[in-house]
Amino acid sequence: MTQRRATATAHANIALIKYWGKRDEELVLPYTSSLSLTLDGLRTVTTVEFGDLPADTATLDGEPLHGTALTRISTFLDLVRERAGLHSHATVTSRNEVPTAAGLASSASGFAALAGAAAAAAGLDLDARALSRLARRGSGSASRSIYGGLALWHAGHDDESSFAEPIHSPLDLAILVILVDDSAKSVSSRVAMRSTVATSPLFFRWVEDSARDLEIALRAVAEGDLATLGETAEANALGMHATMRAAVPPISYFTSGTQEALAAVREARAAGLPAWATIDAGANVKVLTSAADAERLAEWLRARLAGLTISVDYPGPGIAIDKG
Give me the residues that bind ligand 2P0 (CB under 6 A), please: 15, 18-20, 28, 34, 107, 139-141, 189-190, 280-281
Compute the least distance from the CB of residue 292 to ligand 2P0, in Å.
25
Question: Do the Cβ atoms of 102 and 179 come closer than 8 Å?
Answer: yes
Q: How far apart are CA 251 and CA 261, in angstroms?
A: 19
- First and final C-alpha spacing in the chain: 16
Compute the least distance from the CB of residue 67 to ligand 2P0, in Å.
16
- Of 41 and 140, the one with the shorter C-beta distance to ligand 2P0 is 140
Compute the least distance from the CB of residue 281 to ligand 2P0, in Å.
4
Q: What phi and psi values does residue 102 have, to the nearest 5 degrees? A: -65, 160
- Of 190 and 302, the one with the shorter C-beta distance to ligand 2P0 is 190
From the list 13, 20, 5, 35, the residue with the least C-alpha distance to 189 is: 20
Compute the least distance from the CB of residue 17 to ligand 2P0, in Å.
8
From the list 152, 147, 138, the residue with the least C-alpha distance to 36 is: 152
Question: Is the previous residue joined to 30 through a cis bond, with omega within 30 degrees of 0?
Answer: no
- Of 90 and 197, the one with the shorter C-beta distance to ligand 2P0 is 197
- Of 44 and 189, the one with the shorter C-beta distance to ligand 2P0 is 189
Compute the least distance from the CB of residue 282 to ligand 2P0, in Å.
8
- Of 36 and 311, the one with the shorter C-beta distance to ligand 2P0 is 36
Q: How far apart are CA 275 and CA 277, in angstroms?
A: 7
